[in-house]
Structure 1
Amino acid sequence: MDVLIHVFVALHIIGIASLLGGFLTQLRAMSDGTARFSPAMLHGALTMLVTGAILVGLNQADDQTVNNIKIGVKLALLVVTLGLVYVKRDEEKVENSLFALVGGLTTANIFIAVLWT
């Protein structure tokens, strides 16, 4: 079971790297006002959602304690992020405030995962 959990943790990290990497690559375009959500950002957020749900299930099946409040906060941040990226994915330009919000929520999600014990 541990190997399976570690595989999904790795996939979860790949998803967050795709979402955050897509944001970071658009920072220069953000300063020009031409930033947009890339398909990699949408797929990264979806990967995070699916692998995160699987990880919660696997940890509960393995009789490990799961902090449901932490998972709920992370899920709420991810759902807002995913909603913004999904709704604005086809627009040529995204408002800087929305684009920065996605980067901030993604960064907050990372810090919650690492620092909330």
Structure 2
Amino acid sequence: MDVLINVFVALHVIGIASLLGGFLTQMKAMGAGTARFVPAMLHGALTMLVTGVALVGIHEAQDHTVNHVKIGIKLLILLVILVLVYVKRDDEKAGKGAFAAVGGLTVANIFIATLWT
């Protein structure tokens, strides 16, 4: 079961890399007001959602302790990110506020995952 957990963790990291990478590649365009939500951001967020739910399910099935408050906050942040990216995915330009919010929430989710023990 440890191999399966490690595979899902690796896929979760790939998802966050896709989401953050998509944001970082558009930062220069954000300064010019022409940033847009690229498909990699949506796919990364969806990958994070699916793998995160799978990881929680596997840990619960093995009777491991899961910090439900931490998971709930991370899920709420991810859902906000998903809604913003999904709603604005076809727009030629994303607003600076919405785009910056996605980047900030992504970084916040990373810090919650790594620093909250």
| Residue 61 (structure 1) aligns with | 61
Post-superposition shift, 1:62? 1.6
Identical aligned residues as a percent:
74
| Residue 73 (structure 1) aligns with | 73
CA distance in 2, matches of 1:104, 1:49: 18
What secondary structure does 1:43 align onto? helix
| Residue 85 (structure 2) aligns with | 85
With structure 1 as the length reference, what TM-score do the two structures score? 0.99
CA distance in 2, matches of 1:94, 1:40: 15
How does 1:11-90 map onto structure 2 within 5 Å? 11-90=11-90
What per-residue deviation string (whole Å, max 9, x for no partner) do you get for residues 16-45 of structure 1?
Answer: 000000000000000110000000000000
Q: What amino acid sits opposite 1:18 in the alignment?
A: S
Aligned residues between the structures: 117
Q: What amino acid sits opposite 1:6 in the alignment?
A: N
| Residue 111 (structure 2) aligns with | 111
Post-superposition shift, 1:64? 1.0
Post-superposition shift, 1:61? 1.2
The CA RMSD over aligned residues, in Å, is 0.4
CA distance in 2, matches of 1:2, 1:14: 18
Post-superposition shift, 1:63? 1.6
Q: Which runs of 4+ in 1 moved over 4 A?
A: none
Q: What amino acid sits opposite 2:105 in the alignment?
A: L
What secondary structure does 2:15 align onto? helix
User: Which shifted more, 40-49 or 56-65?
Assistant: 56-65
CA distance in 1, matches of 2:66, 2:107: 21
Q: What amino acid sits opposite 1:110 in the alignment?
A: I
- The runs of 5 or more residues in structure 2 that have no matched partner are none
| Residue 6 (structure 2) aligns with | 6
